[in-house]
Structure 1
Amino acid sequence: MGLARRDTIHHTYGDYLGWPEDVRYELIDGEAFMMAPAPDLEHQEVAGEIFFQLRLALGEGPCKPFVAPVDVRLPRLDEADDQMDTVVQPDVLVVCDPSRLDRRGVRGAPDLVVEVLSRSTASHDHVRKRQVYERAGVKEYWLVHPTDRMVTIYRLVEGAYGKPDVQELQGETAVGVLPDVVIAWDALVARLAPVE
């Protein structure tokens, strides 16, 4: 199941800024995709815990974690903000270059992006957003599958994502782009509803 498109018109971030705030969209190559309704509590538990662990591990260093909603503007070249046609809102992200942060959010590729999958967003996150993150230069992209208790990790190698690393949500998973940072899964998984 894919996300609904707003319309068939090519949009820019300039258009996006004028839309009502009560409905959230992501722009991918000018296509406006309506964000899914508020995620369920399990999704929020997983995203919140990952953000919490990243925040504790990173402390006051240069790398800053954020949790959605935060606009991440991904220019193709040196486009002005209002001309960009790709703006996404990852569930969790880390930016280590402070020059990419401004009052509107993030301009340029985060170092780490984590998407927590749900039925309504899984194909969008696996296909469209993976392609966008790869093109933009996101160094590490995690897809966390709460129901399947798995994480799929893509790492950028010479400008492209290599074969994904698929792990169970157990023990700890090292964050490759953040030395000495791990995400611990066991306590989190114990809090999730049993798999049916």
Structure 2
Amino acid sequence: MPLPSQQRKYTYTDYLTWPEDESCEIIDGVPYMQAAPSWQHQSITGELYRQISNYFVNKPCRAFAAPFDLCLAEYNETDDEISNVVQPDVVVVCDESKLRKTGYFGVPTLIIETTSPATSRRDRVSKFNMYEKAGVKEYWIVDPEGKFVNVFILQQNKRYGRPETYTDENKMQIATFPDLIIDLNTVFANL
């Protein structure tokens, strides 16, 4: 991947030209390289994906795990002009008509990011603001080290409210899918 220019706004078109073996995201037109996740990150994300994906068998929504491109358009951007291309750890989509090319072009219902020291700031600030602005109904930030999950729900004022916090001792009910219960003891069990 070429070194990014400070003055240039990168898009989905640029993203498609970068080597497939290099994991990266674009947030507000700025590319970010991603390091390989830790085994703890993969264990947590894998278990969350398993529980959520199993719930959606024979239901209209679907869960996807990274690597999976989520393309969030701003204003009237065409697919090629999109300047926000991210790879959430787990994403739930309920409008299959927006599945195309390398992922999903639209606003998902639920996004889960498992933080690491390298991504914590981006997950808690840049992505938080981007997901809120886009209208993602539910956003989770999972902290492997502290073994807790912060859940943000989009309010009527189009802002995320105070987070609900769950620990490894909890079973949590999903706000957007009330009959889906996640066992966090199982999620954090192997750490």
Q: TM-score, normalised by structure 2?
A: 0.93
Q: Is the 8 A contact 1:113 1:142 kept in 2?
A: yes
Give the AA of the match of 1:17. Answer: L
State how far apart, in whole Å, the 2-side matches of 1:98 and 1:118 are: 30
How many residue pairs match? The answer is 187
Matched residue SS, 2:154:
strand
Q: Is the 8 A contact 1:114 1:141 kept in 2?
A: yes
Q: Is the 8 A contact 1:6 1:33 kept in 2?
A: no
2:153 corresponds to 1:119: no
Q: Deviations over 1:112-149 (max 9, x none)?
A: 00001111111110000000100111100000111101
Displacement after TM superposition at 1:6 (Å): 3.7
Q: Deviations over 1:9-64 (max 9, x none)?
A: 211111111112222221111111111x1111110000000000001111121110
Q: Is the 8 A contact 1:6 1:34 kept in 2?
A: no
Query: Which residue is equivalent to 2:165?
Result: 166
Query: Which residue is equivalent to 1:70?
Result: 68
Q: TM-score, normalised by structure 1?
A: 0.91
Matched residue SS, 2:189:
helix
State how far apart, in whole Å, the 1-side matches of 2:167 and 2:107 are: 27
Summarize the alignment of residues 119-158 of structure 1 with structure 2, pairs less than 5 Å apart.
119-158=117-156
Query: Which residue is equivalent to 2:182?
Result: 183
Give the AA of the match of 1:136. Answer: A
Deviates most, 156-165 or 41-50: 156-165
Displacement after TM superposition at 1:100 (Å): 1.8
Which blocks of at least 5 consecutive residues in structure 1 are unaligned?
none
State how far apart, in whole Å, the 2-side matches of 1:118 and 1:155 are: 22
Q: Is the 8 A contact 2:48 2:187 kept in 1?
A: no
- Paired-residue identity, %: 40
Report the aligned-residue RMSD: 1.3
Displacement after TM superposition at 1:107 (Å): 0.5
Give the AA of the match of 1:96. Answer: C
Query: Which residue is equivalent to 1:28?
Result: 27
2:100 corresponds to 1:105: no
Deviating 4+ runs (over 3 angstroms): none
State how far apart, in whole Å, the 2-side matches of 1:130 and 1:120 are: 16
Give the AA of the match of 1:156. Answer: L
